[in-house]
């Protein structure tokens, strides 16, 4: 596989962000010592770190989902609510969006 300029740039910035984190220095001091622009390093730090909504704040576990082999026939106008064991619900499941919900369930299983 050919490494493009874009991929090399991503690799370099990820390495710089990790090196800064490992240094324990404030971002501004690290950037001065390494000839980097602080706002650029900050940009790549935000770009490559996991969004706060994805950071683990509590324990989680996998739940087995059984997907029926026969298609589910739903009325066109009515919708279904799928309630999960953790209290969350997937609402508005209808014949028109069943393929999306099926993909979601498959991805989660």
pLDDT digits (tens, 9 = 90+) for 4-55: 888 888 888 989 999 999 999 999 999 999 999 999 999 999 888 766 655 5
pLDDT, the chain, mean: 78
Cite the DSSP H helix spans in the chain.
5-23, 27-34, 38-48, 98-108
Q: Is the pTM of this model over 0.85?
A: no
Cα Rg of the chain, angstroms:
23
Least confident residue range of 3-12, 21-30, 70-79, 94-103: 70-79
Phi, psi (rounded to 5 degrees) for 25: -85, 155
pLDDT at 58 (0 to 100):
61
* pLDDT computed for residue 88 by the predictor: 73
Distance CA 42, CA 40 (A): 5
In a 13 Å sphere around the CA of 28, the CA atoms on its Cβ side amount to 0
What pLDDT shows up at residue 25? 93
């Amino acid at each position: 596989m050919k490494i493009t300029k874009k991929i090399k740039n991503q690799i370099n910035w990820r390495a710089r962000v990790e090196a800064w984190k490992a240094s324990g220095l404030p971002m501004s001091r690290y950037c001065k010592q390494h000839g980097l622009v602080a706002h650029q390093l900050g940009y790549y730090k935000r770009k490559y770190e996991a969004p706060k909504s994805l950071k683990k704040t509590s324990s989680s576990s996998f739940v087995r989902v059984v997907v029926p082999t026969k298609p589910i026939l739903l009325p066109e106008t009515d919708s279904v609510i799928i309630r999960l064991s953790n209290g969350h619900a997937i609402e508005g499941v209808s014949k028109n969006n069943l393929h999306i919900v099926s993909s979601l369930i498959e991805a989660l299983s």
